[in-house]
Amino acid sequence: MFSKKEKKKLQEEQDILNSTDKEVTEEIDLLDELPDEEDGAGHKPKKKLPAWVIVPILGVVVAGGFGLSALTGGGGNADTGTVLEVTEVTRGTVQEVYNSSGTIESENTKTYYSPVTAPIKECKAVVGQTVKSGDLLITFDTTNLERDNQQAQLTLQSSLKASEATRAQNAKAVEAANAASAQAADQANALADEVNALAAQVDAAYAQYQANLEAAGAQAASVQAKTEELQNTIAQNQEVVNANQSVIDSTDSGYAGRRADLDAALNVPEAERTEEQKKTIADLQPVFDAYDAAVTARNEAQAAIDAANNELQTLSASTPDVDDAGYTELKAQYDAKYAEWQAAYQAANTPTADTSMTAAESESLDISDNLAELTALTPEELLEKGREGMKADMDGVIASVDSLQTNSAAQGAALFSIASMEDVRVRIEISPDDYSKMKTGTAVTITVGDNTYQGTLTSVDNIAVQNESGTPVIGAQIHINDPDENICIGATAKVRMTVAESKDVLLVPTEVINASTDGDFVYVIENGVVKERPVELGTSSATDTEIISGLKEGEQVVSDLSVDIQEGMRAIPQEAASDQSDN
């Protein structure tokens, strides 16, 4: 492949070669036209060019020939070009296959813990040994089980009694709270009955009082009307007093000491006032105008109230006494009893502190009881478990046996573990560059020695860690769907999975793809000249590569690997032998 500068230089050499070739031809023709000398036979032989002329010319011609040969690729001739094998762009399916190896692991490893504290009589568990569900692996010496668990039985009884006492004490507290609440409700109901009875008496006395007023005649009616009028006047003016007093109190609280600021600003002639004094007047004068108006209105209303009260006193003195039938006294009794009932009603309906145990407290007691029961299994139960020993409850292989130098087991201590041979997987390490290709659920072919199994990619870690060589890797797990007795935990397995597939796409042989700093490209022959064609690649296998863009079905690309191909060289396409055999 030539740069633009190299192409230009080669073109100049070609032009020089063509010009020199033309000049040589013209000089030869000119020499042919010179008069011939007669030879011994009477003929006139043609003049020959002297060596000093021929040698330089031949040198130029030869040099030009080599330059042209370099330009055209060095093969074939300058007119026809180099014969290059080509292959056709086809349509089909391509798969990218990922190959790796990993270690076989069990997906289900169970650790077995001692159910009792007792000496070990016999241990049949050996690392690497294949076992079946039900195989007896540990037996115990049960001599001291009853004695060792006697204290746990006593602790259990103590814990259960303590829980029982706590629940009983809480029940008493709840019962007392309920009784107090019921008593408050009964008291409120009794007071309600008294209030209702007094209300009836008050209504009757009031009715009698009204009848007595009517009997007092027109004067009494007039006095009553005037009294009500004065009371209304007092009430209305009292509202005015209250409203204006609220304005006065608010101003006194919010603008304390500001009256002096306003008066000082107002005492300054208007033309001489500063901006701050103008702002003080603008802010405070409306406030204190409203304040003064409120004071005036309050005083006027209070004066009206005082006048009405004086008139009421005069009116009361001039009004003959009327029997109120005990209304005033009954009304006072009713008000007092009503307030008493209201307080009792609120007390009865106010939620009291919940003295019952919370769900968490109750659950805590249950847990304590359960723990005590588990800690203090009956001697008979422990003895039975000791006699049963420890058996495998699944098929598998012994993965580990904990240290048994003391020949004794403690309750809850791990003794051995079994790795299942039915649920196994292959753990592999992948490069971060391949992470995006790994899709869970992908089918995998697994090879272990001479045996082949089918598997499924079940999980891929979300973090890259450094392996022993310091290279970042990502862990992935492949479940073996059909394990058999030939599976060996810890052995190496080879895996093969299709990580990408493109169907009905344009394909070219992978070997014809070239790469440069500008991207991927292929060579094509256009009008007898080799051209670079940029292409966009898709899925790629060891033999074929998908072409997303840059080529069309049926086009031919150069597949000849035996020639140093350069863009711009002249070439003749020739279908590869495999392509020709198809035709």
pLDDT band at 551 (very low <50, low <70, confident <90, very high): very high
Structural domain ending residue among the three candidates 500, 525, 544: 500
Dist CA 546 CA 540 (whole Å): 6
Tell me whether residue 185 is in a domain.
Answer: no
Dist CA 576 CA 90 (whole Å): 14
Tell me whether residue 442 is in a domain.
Answer: yes
- The reply to whether 569 and 552 lie within a common domain is yes
**Per the structure, how many domains does the chain have?**
3
Q: Judge whether residue 17 has pLDDT over 70.
A: no
Q: Are 414 and 111 in contact (CB under 8 A)?
A: yes
Q: 3-class SS at 260?
A: helix
Q: What is the pLDDT at residue 44?
A: 36
In this predicted model, which residue has the larger pLDDT, 506 or 15?
Answer: 506
- The reply to whether 489 and 553 lie within a common domain is no
- The CATH number for 106's domain is 2.40.30.170
Tell me whether residue 382 is in a domain.
Answer: no
Dist CA 490 CA 499 (whole Å): 26
- The reply to whether 428 and 474 lie within a common domain is yes
Helix then strand then coil, in percent of the chain rounded to 5, is: 50, 25, 25
pLDDT band at 549 (very low <50, low <70, confident <90, very high): very high
Tell me whether residue 243 is in a domain.
Answer: no
Of the candidates 396, 315, 437, the one whose C-alpha atom is nearest the C-alpha of residue 106 is 396
Of the candidates 99, 97, 101, 1, the one whose C-alpha atom is nearest the C-alpha of residue 510 is 97
Tell me whether residue 444 is in a domain.
Answer: yes
- Neighbour count for residue 304 (Cβ, 10 Å): 17
Q: Residues in the chain, how many?
A: 583
Structural domain ending residue among the three candidates 500, 530, 547: 500
Q: Mean pLDDT across the stretch 439-447? A: 92
Q: Mean pLDDT across the stretch 234-243? A: 92
Handedness of CA 166, 171, 172, 178 (dihedral sign): positive
Q: What is the pLDDT at residue 414?
A: 87
Residues contacting 454, CB < 8 A, separation 6+: 443, 444, 445, 446, 480, 481, 482
Q: How far is CA 90 from CA 105, 278, 547, in A?
A: 44, 94, 10
Lowest mean pLDDT among 185-194, 369-378, 480-489, 529-538: 369-378
pLDDT band at 53 (very low <50, low <70, confident <90, very high): very low
Tell me whether residue 260 is in a domain.
Answer: no
- The reply to whether 63 and 106 lie within a common domain is no
Q: Mean pLDDT across the stretch 40-66? A: 40
pLDDT band at 137 (very low <50, low <70, confident <90, very high): confident
Q: Are 535 and 513 in contact (CB under 8 A)?
A: yes
34 exposure class (CB count in 10 Å sphere: 0-12, 13-18, 19+): exposed
Dist CA 429 CA 101 (whole Å): 8
- The reply to whether 558 and 507 lie within a common domain is yes
- Neighbour count for residue 530 (Cβ, 10 Å): 24
Q: How far is CA 415 from CA 59, 111, 251, 361, 419, in A?
A: 95, 8, 86, 36, 14
Lowest mean pLDDT among 147-156, 194-203, 209-218, 479-488: 147-156
- The reply to whether 400 and 455 lie within a common domain is yes
Domain coverage including residue 554: 83-93+503-582
- The reply to whether 517 and 479 lie within a common domain is no
Q: What is the pLDDT at residue 321?
A: 67
Q: Token pair for residue 335?
A: 């008000």
Tell me whether residue 521 is in a domain.
Answer: yes
- The reply to whether 111 and 32 lie within a common domain is no
- The CATH number for 532's domain is 2.40.420.20
Parallel, antiparallel, or unpaired for β 136-140 and 390-391? antiparallel
pLDDT band at 169 (very low <50, low <70, confident <90, very high): confident
Of the candidates 97, 96, 94, the one whose C-alpha atom is nearest the C-alpha of residue 496 is 97
Dist CA 141 CA 138 (whole Å): 10
Structural domain ending residue among the three candidates 500, 521, 548: 500
Tell me whether residue 150 is in a domain.
Answer: no
- The reply to whether 495 and 525 lie within a common domain is no
- The reply to whether 485 and 421 lie within a common domain is yes
Q: Are 211 and 203 in contact (CB under 8 A)?
A: no
Q: 3-class SS at 85?
A: strand
The pLDDT mean for the chain works out to 81
- The reply to whether 451 and 466 lie within a common domain is yes
How many CA within 13 A on the CB side of residue 525? 23
- The reply to whether 561 and 549 lie within a common domain is yes
Q: What is the dihedral of CA 96, 99, 104, 107, to 10 degrees?
A: -20
pLDDT band at 41 (very low <50, low <70, confident <90, very high): very low
